[in-house]
Chain A
């Protein structure tokens, strides 16, 4: 006497080698997928930084490289001009001020001191004009009239 399960399994036992082949094929494919999913190695901070730089260069700089080259050239020219001007300015500083220049400077200083002393001492007339106290009631009377 056999159970239905036994009958069914014995009946299909001949398919076992083909099923084994299918199983091996699928397991190999699954292993391949798994291998592809796994990262090759852990990324360090330096790797991440290098990747970020490489990526930003590729995304930002490389597509408009001509513009960047133009800007770089302008900056180089500005820098060169700046350096050449710096070389000239010490020669001017070394020569010192002339006697005429010193005279005009002294004159201007004199005028400035005169102007300053006049303004610093206010006249008495101005002071009187600026302050003339009156009783408050007078003001109020005018308003009521």
Chain B
């Protein structure tokens, strides 16, 4: 009998592995119709292929282990045995063909369901991949209601949302496992993907196509919320940045506008209007920093500005020469931009 510690270790290991199957970023814990359909396919394919594998391996093992019969004349053809062999081969080929056709049909119908989700999408979000962050633009027929933000995508729960995917530099891939499968963002090409989150919640996404040194630090959060909350969020995001309210924030505002930050970033309502880096108009209200690399806290914000190349080596945010007071002031200002 195995010692109980081994069993406990085994159980703990299994628990750890299984715990990876749920949570904010798992294709096996689907939270939308597309992901449900895909998860069903994953399970069906895995179980069916496992059964086929066990059957094939079992048959091979049985044949290998079988005792060989000694025949008096090895060249004599045994008619009944020959008939049985050809029957087995034909039925095995038939079964294989049937399984393949069935799986093809299943995947065809799953694809049809995925395509059907997008028939009445009300909201279009243009996601542009950059090394290494996501630019998010909410399209609207009215130019004053177009909203640009970064890395955090709010969507109304229970409604189909169309994502228009494109890239500014290399190939990226948009993947929010709990809501949909992967789709590439390709330079010079536009891909569209429609998804729906059934319930409010936070679903983490990740770039799924190697795109350079910081590919692993290119995450996004899809935040599904009830329609009313989404509308309130949208209205809030459309407003220009909050005015600095304390002396420290005012100093930060001035340091930001007089420093190198304005070469790449935009804060709406101020003269900073560059579009090569993430829009910072409401950065204080986001949950993460640097495309999901850090939690949004005052300390992390200061660390990121002070040494982005230590946190995300190779990132396009350069190391700048700021003294302690300037850094604190800029952080205070950015943090206030809720």
A binds B: no
